[in-house]
Chains A and B, each alone.
Chain A
Amino acid sequence: LFPFSPLSPSPLSPSPLTPRGLSHPFSPQAAMTKLGQWLCGLALLGSAWAALALAPPGLQPPAPLRQALLPLPVYLLVAFGCYSLATVGYRLATFNDCEEAAAELQEHIRAARADLRRRGLRL
């Protein structure tokens, strides 16, 4: 999506020939909102699915294919749901608890207060 290597200089200002918001001539996605991208994607997939699965009798693909295609959107939704649950669950389980950082912070706070008092801070 962003063919941008961290080693190349960053384009701080787009060239005068590039329309605002389109700083990369090779990524048209930059001009479309995320919502727009989703709608486009769904429209494409949706129409492909409808064309195949809901075709009139003369143009139907073979029966087994139709049987698989028809419930596909629901299957994909369920699969995505499972993926989401699994991912969030895994990330929740592996969410680090920073005991050391907390302890270190308490130490720093003690040192800070002592030092600041020495330097004249009146709390």
Chain B
Amino acid sequence: TAAMGPARVSVLLPTYNERDNLPLVVWLLARTFSDSGIDFEIIIIDDGSPDGTQEIAQQLEKIYGSDKIVRKLFLFPSGTAYIHGMKYATGNFIVIMDADLSHHVRLDFMYYGKQKEGNFDIVSGTRYKGNGGVHGWDLKRKLISRGANFLTQVLLRPGASDLTGSFRLYRKEVLQKLMEKCVSKGYVFQMEMIVRARQLGYTIGEVPISFVDRVYGESKLGGNEIVSFLKGLLTLFATT
């Protein structure tokens, strides 16, 4: 299906304790989209944050209008917020990203541009190619990231250079189809979506992104995360 008339992008933003980052992310998104003349909506799916995130979201809805900001409260196990948020998305393209400012939001319109350029089903942000990269990472974290990615490439041959960065644009029907087929939780779910997408023959374009370390809040990369990553990787290896 070629570009089908005026497009609208729905951004799915799962949040937990993002009262500081949320207004900044929303502002950046709104500015990026209006600068490029793209119709959009932002769906904020909150996991019952105790820090006042929902209240901030309410204020943002007043500022930007309820056609642009959609608030949902959903107490979910990690990774399934998107499924819930999808039901309310009215756009024909869906962007999935984190609300913690780690993705350089300025690149959203590049995504859309890339999608139009190649008519891709999925556009995925990559930290590992082109001028993509990271900021605020020490050597250990970079090594783990590259090592894990290498292992992923060898075992899964996914056809995309970055499986765990979670900044992607999907055609709505593609995302719906993938969500039906994917069974993992958390970020392994993100990995599984790309693997399944390749199996189903969907086209994937890549755009370099800058992953700036959390401005507020803490990033987690401890032994637990590594173990659960390996478990997820091996599960995908054995089941896809």
Which residues of A approach B to under 8 Å, CB–CB? Answer: 1-2, 4, 6-7, 9-12, 21, 23-24, 30, 33-35, 84, 87-88, 91-92, 95-99, 101-102, 104-105, 108-109, 112-113, 115-116, 119-123
Which residues of B approach A to under 8 Å, CB–CB? Answer: 1, 19-20, 23-24, 27-28, 56, 59-60, 62-63, 101, 104-106, 118-121, 127-128, 131-137, 139, 142-143, 145-147, 149-150, 154-157, 159, 173-174, 177, 198-203, 205, 210-212, 215, 236-240
Q: How far is the CA of A112 from the CA of B157 in the complex (A)?
A: 40
Q: Contacts of B212 on A, CB cut-off 8 Å?
A: 98, 101-102, 105
* Nearest Cβ on chain B to A36's Cβ, whole angstroms: 9
Contact A95 B201 (CB under 8 A): no
Contact B146 A6 (CB under 8 A): no
Q: Contacts of A121 on B, CB cut-off 8 Å?
A: 23, 56, 59-60, 63
* Nearest Cβ on chain A to B157's Cβ, whole angstroms: 7
Supply 12 further A-B pairs (C-beta < 8 A) apart from A88-B146, A104-B104, A108-B24.
A4-B201, A7-B119, A10-B1, A12-B174, A34-B155, A96-B132, A97-B133, A97-B134, A97-B137, A99-B135, A116-B63, A120-B63
Q: Contacts of B174 on A, CB cut-off 8 Å?
A: 10, 12
Contact B239 A33 (CB under 8 A): yes
